[in-house]
Structure 1
Amino acid sequence: MESDGLTVRRKRALLLGGYVAMFGGVISYSNPVEPDMAILYIESPQGQLSWRVESEDMDLFEGLKVPLVESYPWDGHTNEEKYLRVEALNRKIPKMTYPRPEYGKP
């Protein structure tokens, strides 16, 4: 727990909600090593992204209508591949949304 009362994983889950809002996602309990651990899968324009979600953070996805699926296919990406996809996606997002605001101007 950090000084603001939020765990690092909860902060990550809050940020992942933004990706879910843009690209959709699914929650699955299909990890054979940790069958009780929720996995969030997001199919982004750069490829599949996935993260473990702690049970106490599942409430963050309720309002986003993330479906629960029994089994979801993992594409086999490594953490390195995932974060290369995230980096490429973050460069692409500004072109997919709205113009960047001019900060400091009323």
Structure 2
Amino acid sequence: MIYPLALATILALSTGWCWGHATARTRHIPTHQEQHMSDRLTVDTITSDQLDALIAERDDAREQLHLVSGMRQRNLDAAAVAIQRAEQAEAERDGAYRERAQLIAWLAALHPDHAVLAPALDIDDEDGWHLLFLTVAGRQLSWHIAPRDVELFQHVQRVDPADPRAQWDGHTTAEKYQRIAALSRR
């Protein structure tokens, strides 16, 4: 533990002040504080052992500061690596979603009379999301389309979310892909 007196001494020594410096001034301490400062070390009362102890405390404090700085730098480096990995994962995910959107846009082009695009009302945190509804062989398939991918669906008819063709039939993602698998086997 670094004591207040040691900290003051360390500060004084680290800023260039030295014991017995010709320009050192005596600080006046009001009488009511003198009783609290009786253990105060001064130039006249400090021993070599006490000075050595204070210097050792200062050196320990510097070492602790160095260790903390090193830990801080390692944490900053680890955080930078984590951010870089997250950004890379996000870019890979966005690339996969873009590829998926291109395939879905192509699928919609194969069934132009059975595909509609409507604003997605179920996503509140970001504007511009849409839902593609595609009916193939009497079965509905639907996908959320990110705002950055909507441009791929210029060929798909835009409808209001209240349009009967844009009403979700309750299928799950697993059911959607089961329907696609069944259509693929035809």
Query: 1 or 2, which has the higher strand percentage?
Result: 1
Q: Which amino acid aligns with 2:139?
A: G
Cα distance in 2, alignment partners of residues 18 and 29 from structure 1: 20
Q: Classify 1:88/1:46 alpha carbon distance in 2 versus 1 (closer, same or farther; 3 Å).
A: farther
Q: Paired residue for 1:102? A: none
Q: Classify 1:9/1:80 alpha carbon distance in 2 versus 1 (closer, same or farther; 3 Å).
A: same
User: Under a length normalisation based on structure 2, what TM-score does the superposition of the two structures give?
Assistant: 0.43
Larger relative contact order, structure 1 or 2 (CA cutoff 8 Å, min sep 6): 1
Q: Paired residue for 1:68? A: 158
CA RMSD of aligned residues (A): 1.7
Residue 21 in structure 1 maps to residue 109 in structure 2: yes
Preserved contact between residue 46 and residue 89 of structure 1 (Cα < 8 Å): no
Preserved contact between residue 27 and residue 40 of structure 1 (Cα < 8 Å): yes
Larger Rg: 2
User: Under a length normalisation based on structure 1, what TM-score does the superposition of the two structures give?
Assistant: 0.72
Q: Paired residue for 1:84? A: 178
Cα distance in 2, alignment partners of residues 11 and 84 from structure 1: 21
Cα distance in 2, alignment partners of residues 84 and 73 from structure 1: 20
How far the C-alpha of 1:85 sits from its partner, in A, is: 0.4
SS at match of 1:74: coil
Segments ≥4 residues shifted beyond 3 Å: none
What CA deviation, in whole Å up to 9, does each residue of 1:7-33 have, x standing for no partner? 1111001111221112231111143x3
Preserved contact between residue 132 and residue 145 of structure 2 (Cα < 8 Å): yes
SS at match of 1:7: helix
SS at match of 2:142: strand
Q: Classify 1:89/1:46 alpha carbon distance in 2 versus 1 (closer, same or farther; 3 Å).
A: farther
Cα distance in 2, alignment partners of residues 49 and 80 from structure 1: 11
Preserved contact between residue 134 and residue 141 of structure 2 (Cα < 8 Å): yes
Q: Paired residue for 1:45? A: 137
What CA deviation, in whole Å up to 9, does each residue of 1:67-90 have, x standing for no partner? 111122111111111010011112
